[in-house]
Chains A and B, each alone.
Chain A
Amino acid sequence: MLRIRNLKCFYGQIMAVKGITLSVREKEIITLIGANGSGKSTLMAAISGLLPSWSGEIRFEENDLKGMDPPAVVKAGISLVPEGRLIFPPMSVYDNLVLGAYTMLRSKARNEVQASMAAVFDLFPILKERCSQPAGTLSGGEQQMLAIGRALMAKPRLLLLDEPSMGLAPMLVEKIMGVLLTLREKGLTILLVEQNARAALSVADRGYVFETGSIVLEGAADDLLSDTNVKRAYLGKDYEEFDDEN
């Protein structure tokens, strides 16, 4: 579904992603794990059209994403849940969600937007309750749900999530990951960037490990979970204890 070949991303002279190759198949959940500054978010920005300075190839279904701006990428079927949520705080939850459907054609907008919103409310009933509330007054978890809901409004086929667990309590992280599984069941393909490697690998089919702009390891999520290097670098001591207990 998504094929990336020899992708190099640049911020001015600095190369932040150094020639990576990866693929995402339909209805897969793929996670990218790695430390801060390893190039994960840069990759997301490149796919979503927010970072135009890259070389190599990004293909989504039949589309070559080279030269596509963010509206074109959204129209092609890819939505991004950005790092730090980036909701629109003074606007109501309703307005935030409607903005998610911004690229839908005007003529068919009304019905489609209502249908999309009903689907989002099914997934996150709390957003329906908070519909007229300014988004900035929501709790962290609710804001993350809103950010995901907003991205779903455009009816994407591929959902990109950049650090959805950031700043959330473990219970909420679990809930968000559960939602991703539900979305996959509904036919969505998901590319998930996470520092919370344990949570991400627990729901993912496959994963890629990033280090300083390159992929250093890839494989099935279960294999990565049991990989010694991954355990040491990203899962920490607690994980081993947790592993032993089980």
Chain B
Amino acid sequence: MIRTDTHTIACIVFAAAALATGILIDDAYYLQVLIFIGINTLLALSLNMLMGYAGQISLGHAAFYGIGAYTTAILSTTYNLSPWLALPIAIFAAVTVAYIVGIPTLRLTGYYLGMGTLGFGMIVSIIFREWYSVTGGASGFVGIPPLEIGSFSFDTDQRYFFLVWGVVLFFFIICRRIVDSRVGRALRAIHDGEHAAAAVGVNTAAMKLSIFVLSAAMASLAGFLYAHQVFFISPETFSFLASIRIVTMVVIGGMASIWGSLLGASLLTLLPEWLHAFADYEMMVYGLVLMLVMIFLPQGLTRGIIDLYEKSRKNRNK
């Protein structure tokens, strides 16, 4: 129960920090970077629920991100539908696809599940690229409208910042509630041993499918937020490499850690920005940073930082 209280305090501090950041920063570049960190945090959190907590690897998560982005783009641009009507349709589309794909795929485990989801991600990515008449093909989809509520438009970076981080905070609270509940315990049980989880009476197949569907819905929402922020989407953003990036965010930030999703997403969004200075060596430095984190903080940044803090506190007490 102490854990929940800590989380509540952390959420309040986090909300206050986000509010202050949104008000104090008026530099468009920084605000945009922070918006992308928010969208990536939502994505990482969605995969962390599936991979970190339930232990089900997905190498095709960007597909759901893309389904969210393309569904809202097509409906709100080609069919002039309000993005707020497109949102439930986008989430429904991702949920339906996740349900259909999840039933056979989630029977697999380990590497096989990785390969299955990888194949699924590739198929969706190819559809985005090749279905030219609907998706705009490889050259992308342009002219996605900004989000509006009546006469209020989320057309400034500051307004969009608050929208995105409001959503992130909402999902931090929801996901923590799930993790601390009976369902969360069952998810961790599946992670630790599916056979044992089944033996205590957890319906493992249904539980895995439910978390897969939730995870897809969250990724689809991230895609929706992304599309209405950048107004232009192309298939590369939702490719196999994008899926790997999301997995990296989860692993680097910390598996089965809600705050780890924030750290992982922040690092993976900021690194390419910082590394511009290294020009041609950017990818090498990027790879090196990831390797160092995995060698020295194999349980992810969150756990690593907590361990370092506890170690230094113990040393001080000696």
* Known contacts A86-B193, A89-B192; A99 and B185 CB within 8 A of each other: yes
* Known contacts A71-B203, A88-B192, A89-B192; A102 and B186 CB within 8 A of each other: yes
Binds A, one of B29-37, B125-133, B194-202, B307-315: B194-202
State the CA gap A82–B195 with chains docked (Å).
9
Q: Indicate if B188 sits at the interface (CB-CB under 8 A).
A: yes
Contact between B196 and A70, CB atoms less than 8 A apart = no
Contact between B195 and A103, CB atoms less than 8 A apart = no
Contact between A102 and B196, CB atoms less than 8 A apart = no
Cβ of A151 to closest chain B Cβ, rounded Å = 8
State the CA gap A150–B193 with chains docked (Å).
15
Cβ of B118 to closest chain A Cβ, rounded Å = 27
Cβ of A191 to closest chain B Cβ, rounded Å = 14
Cβ of A80 to closest chain B Cβ, rounded Å = 5
Q: Indicate if A48 sits at the interface (CB-CB under 8 A).
A: yes
The number of residues on chain A lying at the interface, defined by a beta carbon within 8 Å of a beta carbon of chain B, is 28
* Known contacts A88-B192, A91-B192; A98 and B185 CB within 8 A of each other: yes
State the CA gap A87–B195 with chains docked (Å).
10
Contact between B201 and A102, CB atoms less than 8 A apart = yes
* Known contacts A95-B185, A99-B185, A102-B182; A71 and B201 CB within 8 A of each other: yes
* Known contacts A99-B185, A102-B182; A48 and B192 CB within 8 A of each other: no
Helix, strand, loop or mixed for chain B's interface? helix
Contact partner of A82 among B188, B199, B202, CB < 8 A?
Answer: B199
State the CA gap A151–B196 with chains docked (Å).
11
Contact partner of B188 among A87, A88, A151, CB < 8 A?
Answer: A88
Q: What 0/1 readout, one digit per residue, does chain B (178-216) give for beta carbons within 8 Å of chain A?
A: 000010011011001101111111110000000000000
Cβ of A169 to closest chain B Cβ, rounded Å = 24
Contact between B195 and A86, CB atoms less than 8 A apart = yes
Contact between B195 and A71, CB atoms less than 8 A apart = no
State the CA gap A154–B188 with chains docked (Å).
19
Chain A 78-103 interface residues, beta-carbon cutoff 8 Å to B: 79-80, 82, 86-91, 95, 98-100, 102-103
Contact between A82 and B192, CB atoms less than 8 A apart = no
Contact between B199 and A48, CB atoms less than 8 A apart = yes
State the CA gap A70–B202 with chains docked (Å).
8
Contact between A82 and B201, CB atoms less than 8 A apart = no
State the CA gap A99–B189 with chains docked (Å).
8
Cβ of B5 to closest chain A Cβ, rounded Å = 16
Which residues from B are CB-within-8-Å of A98? 182, 185
Chain A CB within 10 A, most for which of B197, B199, B203: B199
Cβ of B214 to closest chain A Cβ, rounded Å = 19
Contact between B199 and A80, CB atoms less than 8 A apart = yes
Q: Indicate if A69 sits at the interface (CB-CB under 8 A).
A: yes
Contact between A50 and B199, CB atoms less than 8 A apart = yes
Which residues from B are CB-within-8-Å of A74? 200-201
Cβ of B279 to closest chain A Cβ, rounded Å = 43
Which residue of A has the minimal Cβ distance to B202? A102
State the CA gap A95–B182 with chains docked (Å).
10
Cβ of A70 to closest chain B Cβ, rounded Å = 5
Cβ of A157 to closest chain B Cβ, rounded Å = 15
Contact between A88 and B196, CB atoms less than 8 A apart = yes
* Known contacts A88-B192, A88-B193, A90-B192; A70 and B199 CB within 8 A of each other: yes
* Known contacts A99-B185, A102-B182, A106-B182; A87 and B199 CB within 8 A of each other: no
* Known contacts A86-B193, A91-B188, A102-B182; A154 and B199 CB within 8 A of each other: no
Which residues from B are CB-within-8-Å of A66? none
Which residues from A are CB-within-8-Å of B182? 98, 102, 106, 109
Q: Indicate if A75 sits at the interface (CB-CB under 8 A).
A: yes
Q: What 0/1 readout, one digit per residue, does chain A (35-74) give for beta carbons within 8 Å of chain B?
A: 0000000000000101000000000000000000111011
State the CA gap A87–B202 with chains docked (Å).
14
Contact between B201 and A70, CB atoms less than 8 A apart = yes
Which residues from B are CB-within-8-Å of A79? 200
Which residue of A has the minimal Cβ distance to B205? A69
Contact partner of B186 among A90, A99, A106, CB < 8 A?
Answer: A99
Which residue of B has the minimal Cβ distance to A44? B199
Which residues from B are CB-within-8-Å of A80? 199
Which residues from A are CB-within-8-Å of B196? 82, 86-88
Contact between A102 and B200, CB atoms less than 8 A apart = yes
Which residue of A has the minimal Cβ distance to B184? A95
Contact between A50 and B198, CB atoms less than 8 A apart = yes
Q: B residues touching A (Cβ–Cβ < 8 Å)?
A: 182, 185-186, 188-189, 192-193, 195-203
Q: A residues touching B (Cβ–Cβ < 8 Å)?
A: 48, 50, 69-71, 73-75, 79-80, 82, 86-91, 95, 98-100, 102-103, 106, 109, 150-151, 154
24 A–B pairs (Cβ distance < 8 Å), ordered by A: A50-B198, A50-B199, A70-B198, A70-B203, A71-B203, A74-B200, A82-B195, A86-B193, A86-B196, A87-B196, A88-B192, A88-B193, A90-B192, A95-B188, A98-B185, A99-B200, A102-B201, A103-B200, A103-B201, A106-B182, A109-B182, A150-B200, A154-B200, A154-B201
